[in-house]
Amino acid sequence: MNDRGDFDQLHAWRNRPLCRKYVGAIFRSAVAAVRDRGNLFDMHIYWGLGCHVDGGFELLGTWLQKDCDAAFPAAKLSELHDRGVDDIGLLACVSGLSVPSPPPREAEVRCRRVVFVSEAVSTGSTQLSDVRPAVHRLVLAGELRAQHIQRRLTSALTRRDCFDDATAALNCVAAHLMRVERRFHQTSTRGTLAWEQRASASAVGAAL
Domain boundaries, the chain: 20-207
* pLDDT at residue number 169: 92
b/e string for 27-60 if b means 16 or more Cβ within 10 A? Answer: bbbbebebeeeeeeeebbbbbbbbbbbeebbbbb
Which pLDDT does position 108 carry in this prediction? 65
In this structure, which amino acid lies at residue 208? Answer: L
| Structure confidence at residue 5 (pLDDT) | 63
**pTM attached to this predicted model:** 0.77
In sequence order, what DSSP letters do the residues of 8-48 get, joined into one string?
HHHHHHHT----SEEEEEEEEEEEEEEEETTEEEEEEEEEE
Under-70 pLDDT residues of the chain: 1-5, 66-75, 94-108, 112-131, 187-208
61, 84 Cβ separation under 8 angstroms: no
pLDDT, tens digit, 9 for 90 and up, residues 147-204: 899 999 999 999 988 899 888 999 999 999 999 988 877 765 444 344 444 433 343 3
